[in-house]
Amino acid sequence: MQNNKKTHQLNSSAALYVQHVTEKLARFQAILDATGFSEIVIGSGDTLMQFQDDMAYPFKANPYFKEWVPLNKRAGSFLQIAAGSSKPTLFLLCVEDIWHTAPQSLPAGFEDALNIVEYSTIAEVQQQLSSRHGGTAFINSTNSLSVAAESWNPEAVINQIDFQRLAKTPYEQDSVREASHLAARAHVAAYDAFMAGCSELEIAAAYLRACDQSENEMPYGIIAGVNEHAAVLHHHDLFKQRQTPRSFLLDAGVDVRGYASDITRTYAYDPASEFAAMIELLDSKQLELCAAGGIGKSPVDLQILSHRKIAEVLVEFGVITTSVDSAMDIDLTATFYPHGLGHHLGCNVHDKGSRFANAKGDPLPAPEKYPKLRNLAPMVANQIHTVEPGLYFIPSLLNKLRNSEFADTVNWSRINEFLPYGGIRIEDNIIVHADGSLENLTRDAFKGLSKQ
């Protein structure tokens, strides 16, 4: 029964992949028309050797390649999309190698969408490059095909690719959906490890076991912060020592076919503590922010709304002594919430193009208050967004506030009570569907599991 289920999933994924390549091919034909190149060739990337050593760093294919081909571990591959072609051509490096395991292969049925050519020398690939007017646009981390400098990562092509990638195909949505289910189960395993008193490193190991992936397969480094470390936004230097547990923040996803889930949850060791109540309130505010998204909605407006939600939590728990409106007027929440509400999600964990006004890459003006905001363009159909408000007690930011003219707007005794817990972040991944509905991949993945 289990084998039948896996076969059905593979068949379904293969059918979606063929549809995905067909849709991407049409988009890239439009990019070729717009930029004047006769073909786009995308490299997976090259193996990078450690300095003065014969060992390589862990390899990950570049996102422009993963957008087309789910071969995240296969260095030296190239995908050729030529004007007028009915199928892309995939060049796979095949040489005799007795030292390493066989190279990664495509899932069953995926090869139907591609012309596959095996090669053993770069010269063989170079011979296949376009000699037509317009030539080859080569996208890769290194110029391994020795194309002209102006044809290597041309900005006009990169901008077009980044912009079209914002709308996800059904295959891409399905990949992130599957990645969300795998990650949710692993989050529960990590929570159980935290409640058992494990160290941060042991918690991360429990996460990896539960999703059956290695650390090098993660879409980004696991963030596992116990107690005060929950206030470190990117806490990757995981402690081996066990600590008396109070709080735990886990930000971790899973990679499926080159596409990432990106999920954050925060827990209190004592469910009766005020910190647990603060998590519960922020969780409800996060759901309100998820519901506020949709086609045509402005990410800038949602960013402002998220700061209002954080101010409401701070007022509710007596952390600030001013009103929500006053807190917004003086930007008080920036001390407790120093990042953006979210970003696009796909084969880049932080998918690009969301600051563009159009496919040419003309920039949208960033708001003066949030100059580094990742998302600026109004939401459109088939996008995947993260929604991740946070509330942190970060000593360095609090010290700046303490020395500012607004020091008396804060209840410092309450700050001291919450400092040992670090902070809270809750992150879901949502799809904005063409019919106007919002699919919360993360909440759906947690349904039926012991923790939400």
Based on the domain organization, do 221 and 333 belong to the same domain?
A: yes
Cα torsion 57, 62, 63, 65: sign: negative
CATH number of the domain that residue 127 is part of:
3.40.350.10
Tell me, what's the pLDDT at 366? 92
155 with 215, same domain?
no
The two most distant CA atoms of the chain are separated, in Å, by 72
Task: Say if residues 150 and 124 touch (Cβ distance below 8 Å).
Answer: no
- Report the alpha-carbon distance of residue 31 to residue 52 in Å, rounded: 41
How far apart CA 285 and CA 310 sit, in angstroms, is 8
Query: Does one domain contain both 104 and 183?
Result: no
The reply to whether 343 falls in a domain is yes
List beta partners, residue 115: 89
Q: How far apart are CA 400 and CA 398, in angstroms?
A: 5
Given the structure tokens 């949850």, which residue do they identify?
265
175 inside domain: yes
Walk across the sheet containing 263-268 and list its strands.
Answer: 223-226, 247-252, 263-268
Decide if 451 is inside a domain: no
pLDDT less than 50: residues of the chain: 1
Query: Same domain, yes or no, for 212 and 135?
Result: no
Both structure tokens of 393 = 């007690």
Is 229 within a domain? yes
Kindly state whether residue 153 falls inside one of the protein's structural domains.
yes
- Of the three residues 123, 145, 164, the one that is the final residue of a domain is 164
Q: Both tokens of residue 54?
A: 């014969």
Domain enclosing residue 220, as ranges = 170-446
Asked whether residue 208 is assigned to any structural domain, the reply reads yes
Report the SS3 class of residue 75.
Answer: coil
Domain boundary among 164, 181, 198: 164
Beta bridge pairs of residue 424: 391
My answer on whether 285 and 434 are in the same domain is: yes
For residue 440, how far is the Cα from the chain centroid?
15
Q: What is the pLDDT of residue 371?
A: 92
**What is the count of structural domains for the chain?**
2
- What is the H or E stretch that residue 425 is in? strand 423-425
Residues 193, 104 share a domain: no
Q: Are 346 and 272 in the same domain?
A: yes
pLDDT at 412: 98
Q: Are residues 158 and 180 in the same domain?
A: no
Is 70 in a helix, a strand, or coil? coil
The H or E element spanning position 440 is: strand 438-440
Domain's final residue, options 129, 146, 164: 164
Co-location of 189 and 338 in the same domain: yes
Burial 172-205 (b: 16+ CB within 10 A, else e): bbbbbbbbbbbbbbbbbbbbebbeeebbbbbbbb
Q: Structure pTM?
A: 0.95
One domain for residues 364 and 424: yes
Residue 452 lies in a domain: no
235 and 174: one domain?
yes
CA 328 vs CA 79, 283, 335, 365: distances in Å:
49, 20, 12, 22
Residues 146 and 190 in one domain: no
